[in-house]
Amino acid sequence: MIGRKEGIVKKLTAGVAGLFKANKVRSYHGHGKLLAGKKVEITLHDSNESEILEAKYVILASGSLPIAIPNVEYDGEYIVDSAGALEFDEAPARLGVIGAGVIGLELGSVWQRLGSDVTLLEALPDFLPVADKDIARAAAREFKKQGLTPRLGTLVKSAEVGDGKAKKREVLVTVEDKDGESQLTFDRLLVAVGRYASTGGLLADDSGVALTDRGQIQVDDNSHTTADGVWAIGDCVRGPMLAHKASEEGIAVAEIIAGLAAHIHFDTVPWVIYTDPEIAWVGKTEQELTAEGVDFKAGSFPFAATGRGLALGNANGMVKVLADAETDKILGVHIVGPSASELIAECVVAMEFHGSAEDLARIVHAHPTLSEAVHEAALNLDGRAIHRVN
């Protein structure tokens, strides 16, 4: 499995290299540092020699790095970050995961399906608060059936790898919850508590580019920094740390530099958690709308009431649509279930075109399909769902 993964990664990265060559893009493998006057100092990895490039425009896209926590040191083998968790040569019998957010859930779900006994340790008292509460609740039920239940309100105090003299080496983790301190033992430990902007060593003092108090590069609505002719995109700036968001930002900046009109609508950037079942959403959650005092209406529909879901033998989960109570404008769509990552695209398009819930309800959806759940959820906003009793 790991060999197949590496083969796919190699093919994809070779494809990028081929695109560079075809489009006459010159690449350097090294560490870049922005100097004053839009100059970039590159320290090459293979020779450690430096070279200075000058440009009319510069785009910074330095990405992000995994957050480390006190008293838990990575060793790359027993205590790992998200990259290390993709390099195990066998499924750990007992895998501990610090953090039950997006990355912790995704990787915990992978190794649980491969046979590991996975324990998720989450310091927050609520499960997946970034998602809509009904979707998080439905997802938690499905994960519990799989044996993937997070220990909420559990703070990790420290972790260390045992000496292994008496038996195989293990990771000893000290945690604290409402019952006090206790110790857990795992074969491997994954730290997945989030990521931070990778800006260390990126900017010279006189580069003219400012950082925010969170260490991100400060940009305006068009991704332009505080230095003339310098833009920044992706994980190193504000907004969600999502690959597709970064890609679209890059395209927008390139179009702006070329003199074209371009803009990224952050309100319609889709989120996806690649667990089983998948979780995906776009727009506002119910709790966000409530906090903002927005008058809204909600409609939902379960995949268990779709013929396609039943035929696939995978009918867990639901679709939830939120719309403005007065205008019917779609404010958010939230999905947990099969192919959620694909189904959310229709909802993104509808929101981009300022669609209403009635628009989704009146669009003909093929039968039998999973997308019928989106259709029925939109109908259910007004109590008109065809295939459920309201």
pLDDT tens digits, residue range 196-219? 999 999 999 999 999 999 999 999
pLDDT > 80? residue 389: no
Q: Place 283 in a pLDDT band, splitting at 50, 70 and 90.
A: very high
User: Mean pLDDT of all residues in the chain?
Assistant: 95
User: Encoding tokens for residue 258?
Assistant: 């070329």
pLDDT at 390: 57
Q: Quick one: 42 exposed, middle or buried, by C-beta within 10 A (0-12, 13-18, 19+)?
A: middle
- pLDDT tens-digit series, residues 148-201: 989 999 999 999 998 766 567 899 999 999 999 999 999 999 999 999 999 999
pLDDT at 386: 85
User: Encoding tokens for residue 340?
Assistant: 């959620």
- pLDDT tens-digit series, residues 103-155: 999 999 999 999 999 999 999 999 999 999 999 999 999 999 999 989 999 99
pLDDT at 146: 92
Enter the pTM of the model. 0.93
Rounded to the nearest 5°, which phi and psi values hold at 251?
-65, -45
Q: Is 167 or 321 the better-scoring residue by pLDDT? A: 321
User: Encoding tokens for residue 248?
Assistant: 């679209």
| Tally of CB atoms within 10 A around 48 | 9
Q: Quick one: 263 exposed, middle or buried, by C-beta within 10 A (0-12, 13-18, 19+)?
A: exposed
Q: What angle do CA 22, 28, 34 make, to 5 degrees?
A: 120
Between CA 375 and CA 232 the distance in angstroms is 38
pLDDT at 388: 72
Residue type, 19: L
- Which positions are annotated as active-site residues? 367
pLDDT at 263: 82
pLDDT at 26: 95
- pLDDT tens-digit series, residues 233-280: 999 999 999 999 999 999 999 999 999 988 878 899 999 999 999 999
pLDDT at 58: 98
